[in-house]
Amino acid sequence: MIKIQGLQHTFAIGKKGKERRVPVLKGVTLNVEKGEIVAILGKSGSGKSTLLNILAGFMAPESGSVKVGGNETTTLNEAQMANFRLESFGFIFQNFQLMPGLTAFENVELPLKIKGMAEHERRKKVQRLLEEVGLVAVADHYPNELSGGQQQRVSIARALITDPPILLADEPTGSLDSETEGDILKLIRSLNQSLGLTFVIITHDEEVANVAHRQYRLHDGELVKGEKRHAI
């Protein structure tokens, strides 16, 4: 499903003209199978967010290749990449990244609007999904009227609404208490099992990583294979 090969990237540090390049990713190679949950663990500054940003197409690597479903994404331009993201990825962010001026329903509906789906069709689809993730009661609430767990559920619903094959999660429980964290991890696992979705989870939390079939650890820009936790 995802094939990352020889990914290298550096960051410039220091004043302009006197900056020095610090390597963040040193030839990272990773394969993620369809329907697999892969967790990438690492301390802050280890380069795990950079890896996710490159995978999502938010930034281009200095060298290396990223293939998603057989398509090389590093050569896509900004507009092509936006389209690719809309079709292939769903995003779950640590800070939920919901639109404050939109209700839960409207937030979930947004990717379908961007896609250009007709109103009656998308409303039906959003309604059905909100029922599945248990958010019907708060559908017309604004993000600031929702709890952290509810906001993350809205964020997950928004990620799922376009039926993407892959979900990219950046610290999905980073802003949640441990009880809510458990709920969200259960939801991820059940989505993986029921819909066969592929997850790439970036986290520093071992508990979160435990939900994955495979774990990797980024250390000094190199990816170290972790213990295989579960069979797919």
Partner 1 sequence: MRFNDQFDFIRQHMKRNKLRVATTILAAMMGCAFLIILASVGFGLHKTITDGVLDNQLVTEIQVPGKETSDEKITDEEIQAMREIDHVIAGVKRSSPDAEAVAMLDERKGYVPAVLVDFEEEQKAGLALSQGEMPKSENEVLVGYHFAKQLLTEEEQKKVDEGEEVKGFTDNVVGQTFKLELSPYKEGVEPATWEFTVSGIMDEPAKDWIVNSKIYIDDSFGPEFNNKLALGESYNEILVYADDLQNVGTITKTLKDEGYYVYSVTEELDSMDMFFTALKAGLIFVGTIAVLIASIGIFNTMTMAVTERTREIGVMKAIGAQPKLIQKLFLMESAAIGIIGTVLAVISSYGISFLANWLVPIIIKSSLGGEEGMDDVTLLISVIPWQLVVIASVISIGVAMVSGWRPARKATKIDVIQALRQEL
DSSP 52-92: HHHHHTSS--SEEEEEETTEE-TT--HHHHHHHHHHHEEEE
Residue 154: CB minimum distance to partner 1, A: 13
Q: How far lies 73's CA from each of 37, 165, 200, in Å?
A: 21, 15, 16
Residue 213: CB minimum distance to partner 1, A: 26
Our CB check for partner 1 shows the closer of 24 and 213 to be: 24
Q: What does the binding site for partner 1 look like in residue numbers (CB under 8 A)?
A: 53, 56, 58-59, 78-79, 82-83, 85-87, 91, 93, 95, 97-102, 110-111, 113-116, 118-119, 158, 162
Our CB check for partner 1 shows the closer of 118 and 231 to be: 118
Cα gap 127→105, rounded to integer Å:
8
Our CB check for partner 1 shows the closer of 96 and 216 to be: 96
Residue 230: CB minimum distance to partner 1, A: 29
Our CB check for partner 1 shows the closer of 78 and 179 to be: 78
Supply 26's token pair: 């040193």
Residue 118: CB minimum distance to partner 1, A: 8
Triad 65, 71, 74: Cα angle to 5°: 40
